[in-house]
A and B are shown apart, each in its own frame.
Chain A
Amino acid sequence: MPANTLTDMILGFSVIIGILFLYILSLTLRFKQEKRKASLKNRRNIA
């Protein structure tokens, strides 16, 4: 009879997916910020 570790399994996969999600979020936010900086700079160059 296998041990009942279903909640641990759910916790494990949630942590894995959660960290991946947070990292993707951080990548997106940082990329947006750099994009904003780039467009600001472009406008200044044109002016």
Chain B
Amino acid sequence: MNPFNRYLKTIWQIFKKDIRVEWRGRQGIPVMLVFALLIVFLFNFALQLSPDLQAELAAGLLWVALAFASTLGLNRSIASERENNALDGLLLAPVDRSAIFFGKSLSNFVFTFLVALILLPVFSVFYNQNMLNLRLIFIILLGLGSYTSLGTLLAVLSIQTRARDVLLPVLLFPLALPILIAAVESSRLVLGSHPVSDYQSWLFLLIAGNILFIGVGLLFFETILEE
């Protein structure tokens, strides 16, 4: 097998393992989903949103809910590797460590994306507008792609500390801010049926974020895990 196929296979195996763990334990997606819904309810009462204001804010609320909820999934996904020293086992495997990063990022990304897909119809009902929009889904793909790759790296970083998973949001939110701004703004413009030219700079920013954070992960994942 050539090295590239081997690399892809490693990523796939880690991804498959995470799906199996999720299927058996169901500790990631349901928790994220319920948490995201709770955030929606909390915001609704905390901000006393009037119906026409709600429509304007739906995109922002969606991203706040996703950003908060995904920290739970990210922490869970890395903490489960730490339990029973599964991470050590992974690291002992004769594979490129960046493949482990890609595998974990991929599963985190897919799980968070599933949560987003379930949230969309719910938001459509709550905020009385159709959010099952292919363009919006494309933006969610881009936004969550960079958010979860940065998140996976920082989750691995924070699990090494004494504070453990508590640290993740503090490290992740300020660094992910440009991604979240770009995601919120482009989602809002898409939902307001603006033409692509209005939000293409945000799309470029999201693509840049993907390249940057995947690159950063590739570069530093090994450094973070070395012992």
**CB atoms of A and B under 8 A apart anywhere in the complex?**
no
Q: Which B residues are closer than 8 A to A by beta carbons? A: none
